Amino acid sequence: MKYLTFLFILLCAGVQAQTEKPKEIYNVTADAEADIATAVREADQNGKHVLLMFGGNWCRWCRMYEKFRLESAVVDSASRSNFVFVHVNYSKENKNNVVLESMEYPQRFGFPVFVVLDGKGKRLHTQNSAYLEDGEGYSEKKVLEFYDHWSPKALNPANYR
């Protein structure tokens, strides 16, 4: 009887897991241009850069990256100390074509794709997320290296004199 009860609980949990909607990290109705402008002002005031993550709630690798970023204390800390992070939606409901055009079409690399802006809104770099992967997930080492190479400190000319 214990075995049947356990099996029933396991089956119910499986059904619930299949019907749960994944957490939405992209706001399909957001005004991306306004969100980016706000992030640029914040970055400028705090000596940071802006890190745009283009993707959508439909994108498995986008959800994986968000989970990875937030669950790794060292990655989350590096992200927060160097960047103002903005999710820019790309979906059938809202493709944000004007923003994509202004960023020189980063979607050519697939999703997610990252764009680094300085505190004035100038595009510094577009990062293909495939280079941050390791197997079926993301590499902490590769992501931290990316963050480090595109941090405000790394691009400060005074550090190279």
Whether this model's pTM surpasses 0.75: yes
Evaluate whether residue 41 is within a structural domain: yes
Evaluate whether residue 17 is within a structural domain: no
* Tally of structural domains, the chain: 1
Phi-psi category of residue 135: left, alpha or beta, with phi > 0 → left and psi -120 to 50 → alpha: left
Output the pLDDT for position 21: 65
What's the pLDDT tens digit per position in 57-115?
999 999 999 999 999 999 999 999 999 999 999 999 999 999 999 999 999 999 999 99
Query: What is the b/e burial string over 90-127, where b = at least 16 CB atoms within 10 angstroms of the residue's CB?
Result: beeebebeebbeebeebbebebbbbbbbbbeeeeeebb
**SS3 call for 52:** strand
Output the pLDDT for position 7: 46
Evaluate whether residue 13 is within a structural domain: no
Interatomic CA distance for residues 89 and 106, integer angstroms: 13
Surface-to-core class of residue 23, CB atoms within 10 Å of its CB (0-12 exposed, 13-18 middle, 19+ buried): exposed
Phi-psi category of residue 104: left, alpha or beta, with phi > 0 → left and psi -120 to 50 → alpha: left
Output the pLDDT for position 147: 98
Evaluate whether residue 83 is within a structural domain: yes
Provide the CATH number for the domain around residue 123.
3.40.30.10
Contact 61, 111 (CB under 8 A): yes
Evaluate whether residue 90 is within a structural domain: yes
Output the pLDDT for position 23: 79
Domain membership of residue 145 as a residue range:
22-151
